[in-house]
Amino acid sequence: MQKKKKKKASGSGGSLMSLAGPDPDIIAENLERQAATQKNVAAMKSTLTPAPSPYEMLQSQLFDAVNNINVAPTPLEQLRQMAMQQVAAQFDPQINALSRDVEIHGKRAASSAREARGMYGALAKDYLSQLPELTQQFAAEDKATDARYDQAQQQMTQQYQKQAADQEAVLRRLGIEAALPDTSQQARDDQSYFQNQMEMDQQSARNALDQQQIAQSDYTRNLGNNARMAGENTAEDFKRQFQDYAQQAGGQIATLQGQKGSAVEALLAQMQQQDAQRVSQQRQQEFDNMMKLFNFQLSATNAAQRNAAESNVQNPFDPTRMTTGLAGAQNYLAQAYPGQETLASNLMNQINDVLANPDVKNGKFILEPGDPAMGKAPKYADMTQEKMMELLRHEFEKEGDRYTTGDINATMNALLAYLGKTR
């Protein structure tokens, strides 16, 4: 009975305490604890940066990088110059050789024409120089002919005078002086007849000499003119022969130049096609490299999420249990620099500069530079964690002594958090 009473009393005592209400001190303490908890949650929420899922962030970065792929084709003028250089090496030697031959033959033809004109001109001059001598010769012949006929006239006159004197003497001795006038008149008529005949012969001889002089002079003058004309004709022959050769060579040059132009256009089209293939291949290669980096980052993110799911999260600010991507890096720096939001933001900007680097966005970097002049493309390598760390160190080197070694190490760890490899 006593046990039952105690149990009942105990029960009634509890009931009385419940009716009296909880202790005010306990209520105040609970309210303060709840307020502190809410304050911590609010601080934690203000520190944690809301962000999309890691896959969405990586996908957004991939889309941005793909949209920024820029593989420029080789400029058309540069391709044209390269094509012309290659084609010129084949056609220019032939064209230049023909052009030189035309120039040489032209000079030779001009020289031969001058020589022909000079040679035949000298011959013509020699012929024409004989005309004065011919004139002098025939003048001498005319004078000699006149002298001969004058002498013959004088001799005939002397003969008729002697004959008349002899007849007169005979008639006088015979005493028939009355016949003297008739005899003298007959002698005078005979003399006059023969003198006229001799004068006619003299004139005929002079006419014959004049005809000979004219014929000889015309012949000599024609020889000179013919020689001069032969020189001109020979010079024209050289000129025509050169013109025929120049026309033939010009046709060959025009044909070669046409073939050269066609070859340039054909090679240019081929080079444009090859350049387009190069651009397409490089773009595809850059896209493949981006996909590799995307898959690498996605694998790292998934691994980090699996590790976080398997671990017992006690402290949401524990760097080993943070999310990956930008949120992971921001959360790491917020935990590392509580109350130093400006410093944490500046350090985060260093990471953002690395992520904005074209090599990081493209997922590859130049391992060996190429040589465009030799047609050698650069050699690329996939972006690695070590390369990103190197780029981050370069960003800090630009800042000089602004940040401490601890700041640099913390930012390195934040970058690892971004990659899902927080240590």
Amino acid at residue number 145: T
What pLDDT, in 10s, does the model give residues 146-180? 787 777 777 777 776 777 677 667 666 766 665 55
Q: Are residues 65 and 159 in the same domain?
A: no
| Average pLDDT over the chain, rounded to an integer | 76
More reliable by pLDDT, 375 or 40: 375
End-to-end CA distance of the chain: 68
Contact of 195 with 94, CB cutoff 8 Å: no
Amino acid 129: pLDDT: 83
Amino acid 43: pLDDT: 46
User: Is the predicted pLDDT of residue 219 greater than 70, yes or no?
Assistant: yes
Contacts of 377 (CB under 8 A, 6+ apart): 278, 282, 370
| Predicted confidence band of residue 198 (pLDDT cuts 50, 70, 90) | confident
| Predicted confidence band of residue 20 (pLDDT cuts 50, 70, 90) | very low
Grouping H, G, I as helix, E, B as strand and the rest as coil, residue 320 is: helix
Contact of 234 with 120, CB cutoff 8 Å: yes
Amino acid 177: pLDDT: 61
Amino acid 41: pLDDT: 42
Q: Are residues 271 and 285 in the same domain?
A: no
CA 207 to chain centre: 84
Judged by phi (left if over 0) then psi (alpha if -120 to 50, else beta), residue 23 lies in beta
- Give the number of domains in the chain: 2
Q: Are residues 301 and 375 in the same domain?
A: yes
Q: Are residues 137 and 255 in the same domain?
A: yes
Q: Are residues 265 and 202 in the same domain?
A: yes
Q: Are residues 174 and 197 in the same domain?
A: yes
* Residue 179: both structure tokens together: 């016949």
* Residue 96: both structure tokens together: 């230049």
Burial of 180 (0-12, 13-18, 19+ CB in 10 A): middle
Using alpha carbons, select from 322, 323, 325, 391 the residue that is nearest to residue 360: 391
Amino acid 266: pLDDT: 93
Amino acid 252: pLDDT: 92
User: Is the predicted pLDDT of residue 228 greater than 60, yes or no?
Assistant: yes
What pLDDT, in 10s, does the model give residues 272-294? 899 898 888 888 887 777 777 77
User: Is the predicted pLDDT of residue 318 greater than 50, yes or no?
Assistant: no
Average of pLDDT values for 203-230? 82
Strongest mean pLDDT among 18-27, 54-63, 391-400: 391-400
Average of pLDDT values for 266-274? 90
Q: Does residue 299 sit within a domain? A: yes
Structural domain including 213 reads 78-275
More reliable by pLDDT, 347 or 46: 347
Weakest-pLDDT range from 32-41, 254-263, 356-365? 32-41
| Torsion sign over Cα 137, 143, 147, 153 | positive
Contacts of 244 (CB under 8 A, 6+ apart): none
Q: What is the CATH number of the domain that holds 223?
A: 1.10.287
Q: Are residues 67 and 141 in the same domain?
A: no
Contact of 368 with 379, CB cutoff 8 Å: yes
Amino acid 296: pLDDT: 67
Q: Are residues 291 and 415 in the same domain?
A: yes
